[in-house]
C-alpha cells in the first residue's frame, strides 16, 4: 500500500523540524568536527549546510516560485553543486553565520509551503536532468533531501569519533 502524500502544513512542520535538528547538531559540535572532511572531496558539516542554503533558494523554494509564477510548464534550472560549494568556501565560514543565512531562507520557505493550495501542488516544470516535476514532487523531495543531509552531518560526526573508539569499534562492525 502506498502511503498518503504529505500535505503542505505537514511539510512546513517538517522543514521547521529539520532546521531545529540542524541547529542542535551545529551548536553541539566543536569547530574541528564542523570542519572535518571524512574523505577527499567529501563535504564538511559547514559545507553541507552551505549546500542546504543553495538548494533552499535555487532548488526547492526557487523552483516552486518559478512554477507558480508561470502559467505554463517552465524550464527549471540545474547547477553545478560542487562548483558552487567550492565558490562558497563554507568550511572557512562561521557556522552561526551560515545557520543564520539558512534560517532566514528557511523561514520564508516554511511560509511559502504553508500557503500552497491543492491546485498549486499539481503545477510543474521541466527539469533538464529528471524531467517534469510537480510542486508536490518537490515538497516530498525537500523532506527527503533535508533528512539525507542531516544523516550526512551525523555521519561526519561518527567518522570523526570512529578512530578514537578503541575496542568499542567492535560493537559497530558486522
Report residue 109 as a C-alpha cell.
520557505
Could you give the CA distance from residue 84 to residue 97 in angstroms, rounded to a whole number? 18
pLDDT reported for residue 33 = 98
Burial level of 155, CB count in 10 A (0-12/13-18/19+)? middle
Domains annotated for the chain, with CATH where assigned, are 8-161 (1.20.120.450)
pLDDT tens digits along 140-155: 999 999 999 999 999 9
Could you give the CA distance from residue 167 to residue 114 in angstroms, rounded to a whole number? 49
115 three-class SS? coil
pLDDT reported for residue 106 = 99
pLDDT tens digits along 69-91: 988 899 999 889 999 999 999 99
Is residue 132 very low, low, confident or very high in pLDDT (cuts 50, 70, 90)? Answer: very high
Could you give the CA distance from residue 83 to residue 97 in angstroms, rounded to a whole number? 21
Written in H, E and C, the secondary structure of 136-158 is: HHHHHHHHHHHHHHHHHHHHHHH
On the question of pLDDT at 173 being above 90, the answer is: no
pLDDT tens digits along 21-57: 999 999 999 999 999 999 999 999 999 999 999 999 9
Is residue 99 very low, low, confident or very high in pLDDT (cuts 50, 70, 90)? Answer: very high
Alpha-helical (H) ranges within 30-134 are 31-34, 45-54, 61-69, 81-88, 95-114, 118-122
pLDDT reported for residue 1 = 80
Helix axes 45-54, 8-28, angle to 10 degrees: 150
* Distance linking the first and last C-alpha atoms of the chain: 32
Could you give the CA distance from residue 150 to residue 125 in angstroms, rounded to a whole number? 27
Sorted by sequence, the CB contacts under 8 Å of residue 2 that are 6+ apart come out as none
Amino acid at each position: 500500500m502506498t502511503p498518503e502524500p504529505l500535505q503542505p502544513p505537514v511539510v512546513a512542520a517538517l522543514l521547521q523540524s529539520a532546521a531545529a535538528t540542524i541547529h542542535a547538531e551545529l551548536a553541539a559540535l566543536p569547530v574541528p568536527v564542523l570542519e572535518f572532511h571524512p574523505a577527499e572531496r567529501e563535504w564538511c558539516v559547514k559545507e553541507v549546510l552551505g549546500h542546504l542554503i543553495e538548494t533552499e533558494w535555487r532548488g526547492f523554494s526557487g523552483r516552486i516560485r518559478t512554477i507558480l509564477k508561470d502559467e505554463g510548464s517552465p524550464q527549471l534550472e540545474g547547477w553545478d553543486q560542487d562548483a558552487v560549494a567550492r565558490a562558497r568556501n563554507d568550511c572557512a565560514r562561521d557556522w552561526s553565520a551560515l545557520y543564520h543565512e539558512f534560517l532566514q531562507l528557511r523561514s520564508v520557505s516554511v511560509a511559502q509551503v504553508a500557503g500552497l493550495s491543492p491546485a498549486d501542488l499539481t503545477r510543474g516544470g521541466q527539469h533538464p536532468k529528471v524531467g517534469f516535476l510537480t510542486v508536490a514532487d518537490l515538497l516530498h523531495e525537500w523532506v527527503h533531501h533535508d533528512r539525507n543531509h542531516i544523516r550526512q552531518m551525523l555521519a561526519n560526526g561518527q567518522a570523526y569519533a570512529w578512530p578514537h573508539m578503541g575496542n568499542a569499534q567492535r560493537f559497530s562492525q558486522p
